[in-house]
Structure 1
Amino acid sequence: MANLFPDDIGWSSSDSGTTTDSEVKFGRSWRFDYEAGDFIMTPTRKVAAAGEKEAWVQWCRKALLTPRYRYVIYSRNHGQEIDDLIGRGYSKAVQESEIQRIVTETLMVDPRTASVSNFAFTWVDDTCSFSCTITNVREESETIDGRADA
């Protein structure tokens, strides 16, 4: 009878589960102005290109602006669920903890993202503004902002 549990499954003890820069592809993208809601144009009226780091940062910003499960075009792994958190009557400490968890889970989906840290929260009435530091596998960092409205 065949063994249900194979002896050699191909795992190496040297595989630490971490991703390195050489394994992750950084691509380019188009520059986008999120405040204006339009692509950034060059003086010759061509869409401006974003470098590899800027393309990754733009992906992170876009992921934080996109509600998860709302648009069929995006996979179920893309976007955030902060809207589901607001209005539930949780304390500010619980909301901050959940925002930190949701943002981290949202951004860590991308293999280019190595970590999300240094969260800072500011409350004005029922609106929570936050910022965090994102670091990619090349150890390049950027601070991004977000907001959760009640």
Structure 2
Amino acid sequence: MDFEELFLNQSTEKEKKELPLFKEYAIDFNTLEPLKNGDRLVELTGNEALKVWIFKALKTKRNFYEIHSDSYGNDLDVHIGTVYQESIKNALIISEIKDCLLVNPYILDCYNFKLDYNSGDNHLKVSFNILTVYGESEVLHSE
């Protein structure tokens, strides 16, 4: 194990000890309805809970809803209809996604972005990896 891996492992362990277990209620990503088990809401923890948080943060416009802090959500909508070179547009979108997600102390990094504009349904599909205090996970998102 090299120095970087050792440092990352120590940082991750430190983050785990300082932060309580991350919890979020499960949702159906298509209908946005909460998932239930009988009459009780399904609760997720760790990376699965973070995927729900990420989905919600990427679907929420920053500074639009008073209930959210100024740092929650994103400004991806400002890029709709813009005419940039694809490389510039991709860099701006990736930067916006990182700004949106890295406010969460459980998320340590976002990387390995793949953007697909040709999905056939006029939506941008984005996939990327996240490094969290719980480990690594892949995220797929459609805008």
TM-score normalized with structure 2 length: 0.81
* Alignment-derived partner of residue 78 in structure 2: 84
Identify the structure with the greater helix proportion. Answer: 2
- Can you list the C-alpha shifts for 1:99-124, whole angstroms capped at 9, x where unaligned? 11000111100000011011001112
Match of 2:50 among 49, 56, 62: 56
Residue segments in structure 1 that go unaligned for 5+ positions in a row: 1-17
Q: 1:119 aligns to what SS in structure 2?
A: strand
Structure 1 residue 70 and structure 2 residue 74: aligned? Answer: no
Change (3 A) 1:122 1:85: same
Overall identity of the aligned pairs, in %: 23
Pairing partner for 1:110 from 98, 104, 110: 104
CA contact under 8 A between 1:113 and 1:135: conserved in structure 2?
yes
Number of aligned residues: 129
Residue ranges of structure 2 left out of the alignment (5+ in a row): 1-10
Shift of the alpha carbon at 1:138?
2.7
Structure 2 partner of 1:134: 130
CA 30–127 in structure 1, closer or farther in 2 if over 3 Å, else same: closer
Q: Distance in 2 between matches of 1:143 and 1:37?
A: 17
User: Any conservation in 2 of the 1:82–1:102 contact (CA below 8 Å)?
Assistant: yes
**In the alignment, what sits opposite 1:35?**
30
Query: Structure 1 residue 127: deviation in Å?
Result: 4.2
Indicate how the Cα distance of structure 1 residues 143 and 37 shifts in structure 2: closer, same or farther if over 3 A, else same: closer
Residue of structure 2 in register with 1:24 after alignment: 19
Question: 1: distance between equivalents of 2:140 and 2:18?
Answer: 25
Paired amino acid for 2:62: R
Give TM-score, length-normalised by structure 1: 0.77
